[in-house]
Amino acid sequence: MQLQQWETAGRSSGRWIFDWMLPKLKPKYFLLSVDQLSRGWSRNKAREVPSRRSNLSRGSCSLHMDGNTQSLPKKEVALVTGGNKGIGLEICKQLASSGVMVVLTARDEKRGIEAVGALGALGLSNVVFHQLEVSDPSSAARSADFIKDKFGKLDILVNNAGIDGAKTEVGNPETFWHELTSNDPVERLEWIRKRTMEPYEKAEECLRTNYHGIKSVTKALLPLLLSSSHGRIVNMSSRYGLLRFFSGEELKQELSNIDDLSEERLDELSELFLKDFKDGQLKPRGWPTDGGYSAYRVSKALMNAYSRILAKEHPSLCINCVHPGYVQTDMNFQNGDLTVEEGARGPLMMALLPKGGMTGAYIHCTEVSSFV
């Protein structure tokens, strides 16, 4: 008879569940909905997603009555932030297709569950949902508890969630879309940029999400990644975060000199940027201003530097930054020149790196490139 393993508290204390017991299980043991259920979902609601429940409740391993746990296949576990749409959703889809157990996270529960459902409809049952608002450290801590309880380890973290820190005036949506589709991509980008403003609140939110958010999610999950035999972190960067866009030589030097940089200094620079933003001092200080999206550029540059510091501190992990290319997603009103499948290639390469693979690198699409 086949048994099913359900890991509840680390690799050593797996819970074994007979197939016939599944209908009798308390809802909290249904992996897909465990988080929702703990926050009030009804068991009936869980039954609305039978394919996910039955597949997910099979856990990641199985064995026969002899109980030989040595022969269990050890499925890798990945967590992807902002997995409900865009490049993040594509990464979840492809990781799951590769046989990885995927924790698709989203800040919005409904959008996240719908995304898991869409992947389930494609036959990808090894995807579970967990709510994660990256800018809230307590949400990151809850995600870490969830992973620890259910899997006992994390092999891959994809810090994908991000915002552009700007507000685009759409006006009349019909005209907006008409004009967007009637010009070439470069003209369209310029057209979008002209209608884009960068209010302070958006800049602040951008730093909180793209820089501080990645840091708090990483910190919460780091012990679990270190307990994997081959932990990997993929940080979704952007070409906009390259140091060449900083006009100030001093800032550029400081951010390139990783040996002398600390996380505390990066936090100070984040504060300094917001102060300069408020005081109208971005250009005099040498922050990136040409081409707009200053907060976005700075958030990604700080994130790149943080990744490099972390890669030095934890040589056993593979920690890399990836610019996915200019990809058709909601972030750019679907104006990119790559599909999400194409944009996900680099991040997936880094997520599926073999043990001992590169670390501390910047990848432009699928090529190793420079942080400058």
| Binding-site ranges for ligand NAP (CB under 6 A) | 81-82, 84-88, 106-108, 111, 132-135, 160-163, 209, 213, 236, 238, 323-324, 326-327, 329-332, 336
Q: Which residue, 132 or 318, is less far from ligand NAP as judged by CB?
A: 132
CB of 22 to ligand NAP, least distance (A): 31
The DSSP secondary-structure symbol of 161 reads -
Distance CA 275, CA 263 (A): 19
CB of 13 to ligand NAP, least distance (A): 31
Residue 362 is among the residues annotated as catalytic for this protein: no
In which residue are the tokens 């090529």 written? 367
> What torsion, rounded to 10 degrees, do the Cα atoms 353, 354, 358, 361 define?
10
Residue of 296, 306, 326, 362 marked active site: 296
> How far does the chain reach from its first CA to its final CA, in angstroms?
58
CB of 356 to ligand NAP, least distance (A): 27
Query: Phi and psi of 131, rounded to 5°?
Result: -75, 135
CA 180 to chain centre: 28
CB of 98 to ligand NAP, least distance (A): 19
| Contact indicator for 304, 362 with CB cutoff of 8 Å | yes
Q: Which residue, 85 or 285, is less far from ligand NAP as judged by CB?
A: 85
Distance CA 294, CA 204 (A): 11
Task: Name the helix (H) or strand (E) containing 127.
Answer: strand 127-131
Question: For residue 167, what are the β-bridge partners?
Answer: 197
CB of 334 to ligand NAP, least distance (A): 9
Q: Which residue, 135 or 218, is less far from ligand NAP as judged by CB?
A: 135
20 token code pair = 């016939």
Q: Which residue, 17 or 104, is less far from ligand NAP as judged by CB?
A: 104
Q: Which residue, 157 or 331, is less far from ligand NAP as judged by CB?
A: 331
Question: Known catalytic residues?
Answer: 296
